[in-house]
């Protein structure tokens, strides 16, 4: 089972990156290992396309997945989608399938680079460089969007708590905010957590009065 713990998606530009290579052709796989010999990419494990991808990733914990497959099937895409959700990492897929639907489904499942045709060992490194760069850029943007969303939700909770305090305790906006900030400092909590507690408590009191 893929670990659901949050993984670090920030791959350092200088560190060695271990590759899980999925390929039925051992000779071609060996040529890839040779081509990457002087780079930061290292093929740490070779598996066939019939091997359980989720199990392989969970056991090996590779930094990158490279797949050479004639056509990705539904099981493969579902496994990649699970990995992308719980344990994201750059995925490069070489496939002879070039229809738009298959490419779109692969990208939606978490494939960073979809390359039509057989693997050319001499092209693997620049393709990996591009896939890692794209992966890092995507997750940087995703992190920024999540931070912005969190900030907006936090602001919304604080504003709601202020309004409830102003209404319930007949406070001014400044007094309500000062009260919340003082509680946060006294208890060592974040302001947004104090706000959520206030909202929960005051709404519970309002509901209690409604039932009286």
- pLDDT for 178-197, tens place per residue? 999 999 999 999 999 999 99
d(CA 39, CA 117): 23
- Are the beta carbons of 125 and 17 closer than 8 angstroms? no
pLDDT of residue 19: 93
> Which pLDDT does position 121 carry in this prediction?
81
Domain residue ranges in the chain = 17-121, 144-208
- The closest alpha carbon to 49, from 18, 28, 70, 64, belongs to 70
pLDDT of 138: 85
pLDDT of residue 186: 92
Residue numbers in the chain where pLDDT is lower than 70: 1-14, 206-212
What CA–CA distance (Å, rounded) separates 12 from 20? 18
pLDDT for the residue 78: 93
**Fold of the 17-121 domain:** Rossmann fold (3.40.50)
CB atoms closer than 10 angstroms to residue 120? 14
Number of C-beta neighbours around residue 18 at 10 A: 15
Class in CATH terms, 144-208: mainly alpha
């Amino acid at each position: 089972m893929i670990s659901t713990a949050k993984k670090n998606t920030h791959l350092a530009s200088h560190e060695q990156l271990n590759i899980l290579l999925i390929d039925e052709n051992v000779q071609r796989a060996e040529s890839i290992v040779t081509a990457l010999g002087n780079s930061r990419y290292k093929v740490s494990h070779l598996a066939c396309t019939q091997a359980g991808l989720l199990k392989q990733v969970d056991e090996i914990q590779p930094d990158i997945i490279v797949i050479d497959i004639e056509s990705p099937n539904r099981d493969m895409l579902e496994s990649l989608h699970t990995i992308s959700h719980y344990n994201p990492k750059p995925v490069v897929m070489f496939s002879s399938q070039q229809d738009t639907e298959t490419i779109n489904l692969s990208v939606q499942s978490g494939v960073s680079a979809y390359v039509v045709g057989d693997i050319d060992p001499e092209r693997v490194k620049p393709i990996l460089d591009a896939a890692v760069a794209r992966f890092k850029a995507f997750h940087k943007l995703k992190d920024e969007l999540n931070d912005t969303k969190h900030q907006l939700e936090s602001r919304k909770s604080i504003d709601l708590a202020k309004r409830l305090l102003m209404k319930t305790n007949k406070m001014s906006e400044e007094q309500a905010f000062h009260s919340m900030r003082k509680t946060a400092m006294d208890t060592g909590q974040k302001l947004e957590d104090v706000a959520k507690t206030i909202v929960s408590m005051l709404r519970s009191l309002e509901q209690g009065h409604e039932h009286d």
